[in-house]
Structure 1
Amino acid sequence: MEIHGTYADAFRPVRDRFEQNFLDGLEAGASVAVTVDGAPVVDLWAGAAGPDGAPWQRDTIANVWSSTKTMAAVCMLMLADRGQLDFDAPVADYWPEFAQNGKQGVLVRHVMSHSAGLSGFDPPIRLEDLYDRRGVAASLARQAPWWEPGTASGYHAITQGQLQGEILERITGVSMGEFFRREVAEPLGADFHIGLDAAHDGRVAELIPPAPDPAVEELDPNSIAARTMASCPLDATVTRTRDWRAAEIPAAGGTGNARSIARIHSALACGGAVDGVRLMSPETVE
């Protein structure tokens, strides 16, 4: 198995474990990156980027699903750091239409902590509806919470990003993807995208769908978990489409690689700044 890239001597075990994942059949293609005090100490890639066997390259990128949520969170933290967003304020302070159907008490903090009671779409939406971010926002504004906001946490797998994106756009006048590009990715030189231009399609690895999870089939169809998953059915093959890649889906649709994720997260690990690029104050990080 050929492993490409670099690593510091002290991190040889990471390189060996990465290789073992391939030997054990746990990976087809992947990258891994680690930084310490903002400096890269592991930057490796290996395997294939698609069913045709094309090799995973240094600049290969892939849909990273919920790792995208960390990028959306960075954007929201930046607004809070600038005094433009208060996590303890009602969402409706920034998005007045959101107060419909008993949501006037939903706080931005509830959206950030998956406790807003809006873990799925009600009524359910089609995949193509998800590509219309303003239409999705209008739908979320109309619906009622599935539980009392702030009293429990339930994973907002897709809806969290749509809610955050609308709040950010109401404050800044630009979409989450555009804000992220201007304020985070470009200043840090990070190859991560929330809304991917077609020019990058040739670098995107194809995801392999996982085997069906028997536990999902055993869920009570009336449970919140089942209703959440049924409200916008997805599978890994959607990430191969241009519509999905182009759409701004801040909870699940980001495209990048381990290097770009580590680069952005290193700013948080280093008190809000790395290599002279400051995203937020140390106080906000804490």
Structure 2
Amino acid sequence: MTEVQGLCEARFKGVRETFQQNFDARGELGAAVAVSVDGEPVVDLWGGWADAARTRRWERDTLANVWSTTKGVTALLAHLLVEDGRLDLDAPVARYWPEFAAAGKEELPVRYLLSHRAGLAGLREPTTVADLYDWELTVSRLAATEPWWEPGSRSGYHALTYGFLVGEVIRRVTGRTTGAYLRERVTGPLGIDFTIGLPESEGSRVAELLPPRATAGSEQSAVFAQLHPAAIAALSNPVVGAADANTAPWRRAELPALNGHGTARAVAALYGLLAGERGVFGRDAVDRIREGQGPCLDLVVGAGMGRETEIALGCWLSGPRGSYGPNPRAFGHDGYGGSFGLGDPEAGVSIGYVMNAMGPNIADDPRKMALIDAVYAAL
């Protein structure tokens, strides 16, 4: 039996039991989960192994690449700029990034970037993972390209491009890269252990990611044959996976949609900020952050999820399915393989979960849903 360590208040013992079950019955290797209620930590647990060979224990300060859970953190920075009066969500992106005014995108508003409605879900040029490390190359391609569908008409998950699009707006407004601005404005002052662009000195703390079980080639081909060209570009140009994320170049790069590294307590803290903790955002700002942009079958991931979803301004809403708990207006973001952050302003709850054994689900990994159910059962 995997030894679980850390803090867990008595009334949340069900969360500890569920976390243990993730190891015993749901294929967990190494992981951590953190929960705060009204800004106070009530759960901070970790356990298992930080590497496939089981030579390094998962420690209190082990970092994990959280994939798209990073997107909510990038959105947080954009909303701070809105609060500062430096960014208008309804202004054209081209006001801040003039080169973006090409191929019919002159009036495309900033809010479409945050809500995955810009029609720029994937790159049109053949792209390698190494190309993603070249910021100027990628943003210049996005500035010049035409949308894959009518912007604003529906969401299409911008799996890789989101970070470059929102991140370039942040850079044009602040003169800082996303990682630098995050460090200067949020994680440094508040002491939150999360980075976009990992310093080389922190590499020894990072968990090794294990890829999800491979899908049969014929099965995968059948799924891809049904996808819109934008979805194929979004999900496979380029294909990224655990092998890439375990390399030094990936960790060193700033990929604001994909390569945030942090602890579970850091993820909980950042999504707690989005939900109004520590007074960083007032109630009006919190409501703006979770302002739904309309439910739809997402053009990129809708078929795989098998249901309509609704994206707010940087996060996904819990909705009728309860992806982030029973409050339909709670919100969060999943990361490829299973990690997630959650904020629920009404319950005063924030949750962060990180792991290294990646699951195959697009969203709502069974380990995630079991932990969320256990948290809400204890409230």
TM-score normalised by the chain length of structure 2? 0.72
- Cα distance in structure 1, aligned partners of 2:230 and 2:137: 23
2:229 is aligned with 1:223: yes
Give the conservation status (yes or no) of the 8 Å contact 1:61–1:205: yes
Aligned to 2:348: none
Report SS of the residue matched to 1:100: coil
Report SS of the residue matched to 2:35: strand
Aligned to 2:44: 43
Shift of 1:178: 0.3
Aligned to 1:144: 146
- Cα distance in structure 2, aligned partners of 1:19 and 1:82: 43
- Cα distance in structure 2, aligned partners of 1:90 and 1:28: 45
**Which of 169, 172, 177 does residue 171 from structure 2 map onto?**
169
- Cα distance in structure 2, aligned partners of 1:4 and 1:150: 46
2:262 is aligned with 1:261: no
Aligned residues, how many?
281
- Cα distance in structure 2, aligned partners of 1:57 and 1:259: 13
- Cα distance in structure 1, aligned partners of 2:138 and 2:233: 17
More displaced 10-residue stretch of structure 1: 29-38 or 17-26:
17-26
**Residue type of the partner of 2:282?**
S
Map residues 195-214 of structure 1 onto 2, 5 A cutoff.
Answer: 195-214=197-216
Aligned to 2:355: none
Give the conservation status (yes or no) of the 8 Å contact 2:92–2:110: yes
Aligned to 2:94: 92
Cα–Cα, structure 1 residues 187 and 266, in superposed 2: closer, same or farther, change >3 Å? same
- RMSD over equivalenced CA pairs, Å: 1.3
- Cα distance in structure 1, aligned partners of 2:168 and 2:94: 11
**Residue type of the partner of 1:230?**
S
**CA deviation string 1:60-111 (max 9, x = no partner):** 0010001000100100000001100011111011001001111112110100
Map residues 10-159 of structure 1 onto 2, 5 A cutoff.
Answer: 10-53=11-54, 54-159=56-161
**CA deviation string 1:187-236 (max 9, x = no partner):** 22111000000100000001110122355422227632222222221111
Q: Which runs of 4+ in 1 moved over 4 A?
A: none
- Cα distance in structure 2, aligned partners of 1:98 and 1:267: 30
Q: Which has the higher helix share?
A: 1
- Cα distance in structure 1, aligned partners of 2:21 and 2:161: 36
Give the conservation status (yes or no) of the 8 Å contact 1:116–1:150: yes
- Cα distance in structure 2, aligned partners of 1:268 and 1:173: 23
Shift of 1:282: 3.1
**Which of 177, 180, 183 does residue 178 from structure 1 map onto?**
180
Gap regions ≥5 residues in structure 1:
none
TM-score normalised by the chain length of structure 1? 0.95
Report SS of the residue matched to 1:43: strand
Give the conservation status (yes or no) of the 8 Å contact 2:160–2:234: no
**Residue type of the partner of 1:5?**
G
Report SS of the residue matched to 1:20: helix
- Cα distance in structure 1, aligned partners of 2:24 and 2:47: 12
Shift of 1:152: 1.2
- Cα distance in structure 1, aligned partners of 2:121 and 2:7: 40
Shift of 1:52: 2.6
Report SS of the residue matched to 1:73: helix
- Cα distance in structure 2, aligned partners of 1:267 and 1:95: 27
